[in-house]
Structure 1
Amino acid sequence: MDAMTTHPWTTILLGALLLSLITVESGGWFLTRVGRGAIPANTLQKNFFRAGHAHAAVLLMLSLVVIPLLDTVALPLGVDLVARFGIPTAALLMPAGFFLSVLGREPARPGRAFALLWIGATSLTLGLAAAGVGLIGGGVAQLP
């Protein structure tokens, strides 16, 4: 496959990520209900719901930008997999950590599910590092 061809698996993954933005859209509707008081939530919950929603949207959009770039270089399989799936995995785990850690009535502090945020942050860091280093190395390898 030449450097400008998109792999079919990339196209499928990008389609799945676009569809997953529908969940972010429904999360926005949920936030409007929280904001209007239709769903009771304390300040911690409101803040965490907003943070979870924002992280989901931003990380999914970042995934849509980074993943097609990976088809422009030849990466070792392990690096490619971490680069390709690290950011979308973070887009699942980080919002889950925000939302799930404040479930219940009037939580005073985040619960154990908050660990998902840090696991997601690790996934994001590894994905960004693999993609960045891989793209730089792949670009250098393509120099005449």
Structure 2
Amino acid sequence: MIELTEAARVTAGIVALSVVAIESGGAFLLRVVTGKEEVTEFQKSFFRAGHAHAGVLVTLGLVCLVLGEATTLTGFWRWLAQTGVLLAAIVMSAGFFLAAVGRGRQQPNRAVILLGVGAVLLAAGVVTLGVGLLLG
């Protein structure tokens, strides 16, 4: 059995509570798809993508947090392995939502750059974790 450090346990607790925020995003999406919120097709697709990325990446991030405890990584590398995906969940979801904000928007605004930043965090986190697990 993997035993969590205090930092990992607290992080996992905070992340578990963040699911309520993701749930509220789902409530917003329900208003969008039922026509109670007026949005363009572009906005609808970006809002859906933001919500989906949040849910999936938070789940993967919790797995990475726990698996990082099974590595011998230390310092920055351990932090990246355990939290890179969680940061990607925040940054990528924010990128999808913020890039689509604005009445009648038909294409992303400059906040779309957050998608690339989030993708880098995601890749860095999973590669670091994978290497850490392979090294022991």
The structure with the larger Rg is: 1
Are 2:53 and 1:24 equivalent residues in the alignment? no
Q: Structure 1: where are the runs of 5+ without partners?
A: 139-144
Alpha-carbon separation, structure 1, partners of 2:70 and 2:40: 47
Are 2:91 and 1:98 equivalent residues in the alignment? no
Query: How far is 1:73 from its partner?
Result: 2.1
Aligned pairs, how many?
136
When the two structures are superposed, what TM-score results if normalisation uses the length of structure 1?
A: 0.91
Mapping of residues 1-144 of structure 1, within 5 Å: 4-138=2-136
Instruction: State the AA in 2 paired with 1:94.
Output: M
Tell me how large the CA RMSD over aligned residues is.
1.1
Identity value in percent: 41
Alpha-carbon separation, structure 2, partners of 1:85 and 1:61: 12
Runs of 4+ displaced beyond 6 Å: none
Deviation string, structure 1 residues 71-102 (Cα, Å, up to 9, x no partner)? 12221312101111110000000010000001
Q: Structure 2: where are the runs of 5+ without partners?
A: none
Alpha-carbon separation, structure 1, partners of 2:123 and 2:5: 24
